[in-house]
Amino acid sequence: MSADTQGRITSWHGNPSKPTFTPPPGAVDAHCHVFGPQALFPFSPKAKYLPADAGPDMLFALRDHLGFERNVIVQASCHGTDNAATLDAIARSGGKARGVAVVDPDISKAELEKLHDGGMRGVRFNFLKRLVDNAPKDKFLEVAGRLPARWHVVIYFEADILDEMRAFIDAIPVPVVVDHMGRPDVSQGPDGPEMKAFRSLLDSRPDIWFKATCPDRLDATNDPWDDFARAVRPLVEDYQDRVLWGTDWPHPNMQSNIPDDGHLVDMIPRIAVTEDLQRKMLIDNPMRLYWS
């Protein structure tokens, strides 16, 4: 990590390598963020971390460097419920980005439709206590009940609260995408209790999707993240029509072991081992969810 004189964190690799793996034409990075630029889009007073600027120009340069064609930009918690920075990035993408918003639970149907016009296709409910002050499940369900047509809910939680999340997830009336597989302990392996619990969630509804993302956050063995590859590959194979992949750039609030994004891309053929699986994870699935 490095921080500038105002304490703003740089959580991304300054010179990511060119991946060895070449993504197929049309590949989507379905989980990434933008920060600011702060002069135009100030961070929320409730932000739990203060990043340096990582705006759309940087994101799109990385997209091209890594060999992707499209991005799904997820509103980062440091911007609170003001989606202006994410909407600006989508508008600058020339149709190559869609977004996931974070909203005030009292948002109206008309405001949600405006977000749809700006390229949003989902809303994110974040349950990580280190990132948000409160996560009112009843209010979230009300929001989920008035989303524009074909939207989905993205949820972010850690494995230790999966059990208590089950009833809430059951009640969500639209498709659900789980960030980073609900952060299982990948050192337990593919048949460990946390992966088993997550599979049981996936088996409970055919419209629960997941992101096979963030070896850097989930695997304490570090790059090349062998535990992650071993635990996640069977999940991608068994649920191949509901898996998404993304870089998580600019890796919000990563304070150590900042990943080389080229190495993250090189994880793709280790968890999606055939061209067919790669096409589903990188193109067919995200296109169905975000561009159809």
Q: Which residue numbers are catalytic?
A: 248
Nearest to 121 by CA among 273, 265, 244: 244
Q: Which is nearer to ligand 0GY, 50 or 197 (CB)?
A: 50
CA 211 – CA 202 distance, rounded (Å) = 12
Helix locations, 205-244, DSSP H = 215-218, 226-238
Q: Report the distance separating Cα 31 and Cα 68, nearest Å.
A: 12
Q: Does 83 bind ligand 0GY (CB under 6 A)?
A: no
- Min. distance of Cβ 214 from ligand 0GY in angstroms? 6
The strand order across the sheet containing 243-244 reads 28-32, 70-74, 97-101, 120-126, 152-156, 176-178, 208-211, 243-244
- For residue 190, the minimal CB distance to ligand 0GY (Å) is 22
Q: How far is the CB of 117 from ligand 0GY (least distance, A)?
A: 23
76 binds ligand 0GY (CB under 6 A): yes
Task: Using the minimum distance from each CB to ligand 0GY, give the nearer residue, 38 or 77.
Answer: 77
Alpha-carbon torsion (100, 81, 132, 205), positive or negative: negative
Residue 123: closest CA among 86, 89, 171, 161: 86
CB-closest chain residue to ligand 0GY: 77
Give the interface segment with ligand 0GY, choosing from 18-26, 56-64, 74-82, 276-284 (CB under 6 A). 74-82
Task: Determine the size of the site formed for ligand 0GY (CB under 6 A).
Answer: 8
CB-count exposure of residue 255 (10 Å: 0-12, 13-18, 19+): exposed
Does position 38 interact with ligand 0GY (CB under 6 A)? The reply is no
Which amino acid belongs to residue 53? Answer: D
Q: Does 264 help bind ligand 0GY (rule: CB under 6 A)?
A: no
Q: Is the peptide bond before 136 cis (omega within 30 degrees of 0)?
A: no
Is-contact 248 32, C-beta < 8 A?
yes
Residues 6 or more apart in contact with residue 84 via CB below 8 angstroms: 41
Q: Which helix (H) or strand (E) holds 31?
A: strand 28-32
Tokens 């409730």 belong to which residue? Answer: 46
By CB under 6 A, the residues from 203 to 232 that bind ligand 0GY are: 214
Restricted to residues 228-257, the positions that interact with ligand 0GY (CB under 6 A) are 248, 252-253
Q: How far is the CB of 228 from ligand 0GY (least distance, A)?
A: 14
- Is residue 131 close enough to count as binding ligand 0GY by CB under 6 A? yes
Stretch binding ligand 0GY (CB under 6 A), from 34-42, 72-80, 235-243, 284-292: 72-80
Q: Using the rule CB under 6 A, give the single segment among 19-27, 52-60, 71-79, 103-111 that binds ligand 0GY.
A: 71-79
Task: Report the residue number, 97 or 214, with the smaller CB distance to ligand 0GY.
Answer: 214
77 binding ligand 0GY? (CB under 6 A): yes
Beta carbon nearer to ligand 0GY, 48 or 279:
48
Q: Which residues bind ligand 0GY (CB under 6 A)?
A: 76-78, 131, 214, 248, 252-253
